[in-house]
Amino acid sequence: MITLYIKIHKKTGLKYFGKTTKNDPFKYKGSGKYWLKHLKVHGNDVDTEILATFNCEAECSKFALDFSEKNNIIESKDWANLRLENGLDGAPIGNTFSAETIKRMSEVKRGKRPREYYVQLAKKRIGYTQTENQKNIVSQKLSKIWSITDPNGNNITVKNLTKFCRENSLDQGNLSRGKYKGWTAYKLDK
């Protein structure tokens, strides 16, 4: 049996039209990408309204497509659907996305800001260099404490293995693995 339903988000009022063959359509969340992202952000507090149930796929498909077109579920901001519901799996054969649908899918993938925002942000960062003070602050925050033993058996505790290796002409990548040219190192928990 195929069940056609409408999910209505209680907080935002956004609607989703879908179909399921599950026994309990009230537990089924739906499968639309935009709808599922909406639930992830706003919670799963929804009402479910059963529109119709069908045993015949052809009748279900006709009803679903008619309902989709009549309610303009793709273009309307009231609906979370990105394509027509056909009452079967997937989209109808030959279905293409409208320009508005493509825009909505794009917004879901990268957030609500337009592409121009990110282009301008990138342009502002061109040629930007950190001050020495900024570099030192970042270095202190990210640096770990290491216990190092030199080839003579002397123990040294350092913060910032990269700086220590640079000052002692050692390869930080090798020393951080544990042993290098008689030196040993291991990271201490902070």
Non-local (6+) Cβ contacts of 146 within 8 A are 157, 158, 159, 161, 164, 185, 186, 187, 188
CA distance 94 to 25: 28
Same domain? For 102 and 36 the reply is: yes
CA dihedral 4, 47, 102, 109 (to 10 degrees): -130
Same domain? For 165 and 111 the reply is: no
Same domain? For 20 and 80 the reply is: yes
Give the pLDDT band of residue 147 (cuts 50, 70, 90).
very high
Question: Is residue 92 predicted with pLDDT exceeding 50?
Answer: no
Same domain? For 97 and 163 the reply is: no
Tell me the whole-structure pTM to 2 decimals.
0.47
Question: Is residue 155 predicted with pLDDT exceeding 90?
Answer: yes
Count of domains for the chain? 2
Q: What are phi and psi of 27, to 5 degrees?
A: -85, -25
CATH of the domain at 163: 1.10.10.10
CA distance 51 to 53: 7
Range of the domain at 69: 2-116
